[in-house]
Amino acid sequence: MATMHDIVMTALASVMDPDLGRDLVSLNMVKHVDTDVDSVRIAVELTTPACPMKDRIRDDIVTAVRGAIDNSALHIDVEFTAQVRGGDPNRDVLPNVKHVIAVGAGKGGVGKSTVSTLLAMGLARAGAAVGLLDGDIYGPSLGTMLGLDDLQPTANGNILDPFEAHGLKSMTIAKLVDPEKAMIWRGPMAHKAFQQLLLQTNWGNLDYLIVDLPPGTGDVPLSLAQALPLSGSVIVCTPQKVALNDARRAVRMFGQLNVPVLGVVENMSWFIDDADNEHDLYGRGGVEHMATDMQLPFLGAVPMHTRVRVQGDEGDPTAMFEAHPAITSAVERLAGELARQVSMQSGNMVQPTINVT
């Protein structure tokens, strides 16, 4: 005769992870089941703390268990933990970093660094261990946005210690050179500098390393993307046509590098004034249409608000994250959708190669 524990496990084997398309038992997501006469306690380990499907998984578990056990008084308690999966501990580059995600753009001025910071903050606030690398060698801005002005770089030999602020580990060349110095470097020099920032920083154990790449599809972004064991990329764009055309080129660049595009973000989608009125300055929705046309995931849209600019200039990304409820909601969605796409891609990590035709 089947025990109550066996009945519950059989029921859980019918509950599918909505994104991975396999049941919780075969995915080894069920970590513990404790039963007595009138209660069941189930511990489930999600593939990311930013999982946007948590509520659906809980509802499906409760439905499956209630359907298997004929007891109207049964109390079902589902507890979640999370362990980001993926990464290759045997790889030579960044073995302790599970996922490296490049954030790129077809053109400058679309708010790529702002979105990189907000994505990193969103993932960290959900409970993930997150690093943020300023890969824009010519125009580094994350030192300002993270408020690193008063922090001095330290190192152990030739290994840099990352800056730690706002729950993030970060590194930027802006803290290693004269702030007034123009970075007049050819591509190979910028590539070498980037590799040093990436490989000679003691990142420790990270679930996600977000890399803010330079804009465009020229020599430097190609070289930088090749240096990374990428889980995927995110493209940031504003809604107007002139930006969309360049964003398409960025998508095709990552395609040539054999790097999956995890999704696109529409930044500055609309403007919220001080009276909470919304204004579509650039024509909201253009990026979502592009995503549909190119069969790419649409991670979401982020509005403009004056306080985001002010708090970014003041180096307070926590306040920037909470500048307005619409921004908080948008960034939480972005982080959740990005984590979701990474989980689905985690079994298909590749080292970029260039295919020239």
Task: With a cut of 60, say whether residue 350 has pLDDT above it.
Answer: no
Determine, yes or no, domain membership for 193: yes
Same structural domain, 201 and 73: no
Read off the pLDDT of each residue in 334-339 and give the average, rounded to a whole number: 95
CATH assignment of the domain containing 54: 3.30.300.130
- pLDDT (0 to 100) of residue 351: 44
Total domains, the chain: 2
For residue 121, which amino acid is it? M
Task: Let me know whether 162 and 63 are in one domain.
Answer: no
- Residue 335 covered by a domain: yes
Based on the fold, state whether residues 327 and 248 are members of the same structural domain. yes
Q: Is residue 127 part of a domain?
A: yes
Question: Using an 8 Å Cβ cutoff, are 335 and 48 in contact?
Answer: no
Looking up residue 199, the CATH number of its domain turns out to be: 3.40.50.300
The verdict on 279 and 138 lying in the same domain is yes
- Give the number of other CB atoms < 10 A from CB of residue 241: 10
In this structure, the answer to whether residues 32 and 141 fall within a common structural domain is no
Q: Which residues contact 353 (CB under 8 A, 6 or more apart)?
A: 226, 257, 258
Regarding whether 15 and 54 lie in a shared domain, the answer is: yes
Tell me the mean pLDDT in the region 320-349: 86
Reported confidence tier of residue 354, pLDDT bands at 50, 70, 90: very low
Domain presence at residue 252: yes
| pLDDT value for 356 | 39
In a domain, 355, yes or no: no
Q: Where are the beta strands (DSSP E) in 129-253?
A: 130-134, 155-156, 159-160, 163-165, 168-172, 206-212, 230-237
| HSE of 50, CA atoms in CB hemisphere, 13 A | 29
Query: Residue 33 phi/psi, 5° resolution?
Result: -135, 125
List, for residues 2-30, the tens digit of each pLDDT value: 889 999 999 999 999 998 889 999 999 99
Same-domain pairing of 169 and 299? yes
d(CA 246, CA 107): 6
Separation of alpha carbons 110 and 234, rounded Å: 13
Q: What is the pLDDT of residue 133?
A: 95
Identify whether 152 is part of a domain. yes
Say if CB 142 and CB 170 are below 8 A apart.
yes
Let me know if 232 is exposed, middle or buried by CB neighbors in 10 A (0-12, 13-18, 19+): buried
Are residue 9 and residue 123 in the same domain, yes or no? no
**Distance from C-alpha of 92 to C-alpha of 61, rounded to nearest angstrom:** 40
Tell me: the pLDDT tens digits for 158-184?
999 999 999 999 999 988 877 667 667
Domain span at 18:
4-82
Same domain, 9 and 141: no
Strand intervals (E) in 226-280? 230-237, 261-272, 278-279
Last residue of a domain, one of 52, 82, 112: 82
Residue 88 lies inside a defined structural domain of this protein: no
pTM: 0.90
Mean of the per-residue pLDDT values of the chain: 88
Segment 210-251, tens digit of pLDDT:
999 888 766 656 666 676 678 999 999 999 988 899 999 999
Residue 91, domain member (yes or no): no
Q: What is the mean pLDDT of residues 72-91?
A: 85
Residue of 71, 9, 14 lying closest to 42 (CA atoms): 9
Question: DSSP character for 132?
Answer: E
**Kindly report the CA angle at 293 between 109 and 289, in degrees rounded to 5?**
55
Question: Is the domain of 102 the same as that of 77?
Answer: no
Please tell me whether residues 52 and 127 are part of one structural domain: no
